Amino acid sequence: MTKIKLVTWNINSVRARIDQVGQLMEDYNPDVICFQETKVQDHQFPEKYFTERGYIHHAIAGQKSYNGVAIMSRLPLENIDRRDWCGKGDARHIEASLPGGIRLHNFYVPAGGDEPDPAVNDKFAHKLDFLAEMTDWSRGLPKDSKYILVGDLNIAPYESDVWSHKKLLKVVSHTPLECEKLLTLMKAHDWFDVMRHFVPEPERLYSWWSYRAKDWRAADKGRRLDHVWTSPALKDTMHSMEVLEAARAWVKPSDHAPVMIEFTI
């Protein structure tokens, strides 16, 4: 059996934060890195940078200026595929097979805009449609399958996933409707919440802190927007989880901190 370190990270532009990517590699030495919001077309992705550092296996789904997901790996990636969720042509998903028969899915769920009303906000309607499609897909997965789902799902479902449950009830990412939709999605495949397994409720658990706070650490007004889920068949292979909060304090940081898990294959 081999222990694997996997990181998921909304990088908020992989080219603008390539130095931070290098620091992640140096400080934490992950085997697989799943990025969201790479904000770059496929042919402009800095693949050479990763290849030179041992990440020779690449799965990329990009578009100009917006969205974008990628998997950079030291382990072989096979059967690489991307899906056009909701038929909008957005680069919000990439999937690949890891050794051990594990299927890795990397998602960037729409943020949903500011108004939590699908009747007046197309972005919020898109978010709900995206979650519904993910739920239908999850429901069809075999119960004995080996799936890992990671990414920025843009929803903090539990009260202890946000700095103030009461103040954020009408704020997109923690509205009751979104939380209900995400929990329904989790139940559709009996997804195992790796982060909450290692940090059980009601303990505080955040992965995102707004740029608006001058001192984000002192204010600590965070939300858990990033997630790591596995199929039930894989839950006993999970050994550790850590939100790498130190990365939020690096020079020119993303507003998301990387989330790292260790598991065996």
Give the tokens for residue 212.
């608006």
What pLDDT score does 232 carry? 97
Whether the Cβ atoms of residue 238 and residue 263 lie closer than 8 Å to each other: yes
CA gap 7, 147 in Å, rounded: 16
Whether the Cβ atoms of residue 104 and residue 71 lie closer than 8 Å to each other: yes
Question: Using the 8-state DSSP alphabet, how is residue 195 labeled?
Answer: H
The closest of 261, 249, 244, 255 to 24, measured between CA atoms, is 244
Average pLDDT, stretch 146-173?
98
Q: What are the pLDDT digits (tens) for 83-115? A: 999 999 999 999 999 999 999 999 999 999 999
CA gap 74, 31 in Å, rounded: 5
What pLDDT score does 2 carry? 95
* DSSP secondary structure letters along 7-41: EEEE-S-TTTTHHHHHHHHHHH--SEEEEE---S-
Give the tokens for residue 198.
């290692």
Q: What are the pLDDT digits (tens) for 202-252? A: 999 999 999 999 899 999 999 999 999 999 999 999 999 999 999 999 999
Q: Taking 90 as the threshold, does the pLDDT of residue 143 lie above it?
A: no
Average pLDDT, stretch 114-142?
98
Percentage of residues of the chain with pLDDT beyond 90: 99
CA gap 85, 129 in Å, rounded: 9
Q: Taking 90 as the threshold, does the pLDDT of residue 41 lie above it?
A: yes
By residue range, what is the domain housing residue 46? 3-264
Find how far residue 204's CA is from the centre of its chain.
18
Q: Which residues pair with 98 in a beta bridge?
A: 102
Q: Taking 90 as the threshold, does the pLDDT of residue 9 lie above it?
A: yes
Percentage of residues of the chain with pLDDT beyond 70: 100
What pLDDT score does 137 carry? 98
Tokens 């239908």 belong to: 136
Total domains present in the chain: 1
What pLDDT score does 150 carry? 99
What is the domain-level CATH number for residue 203?
A: 3.60.10.10
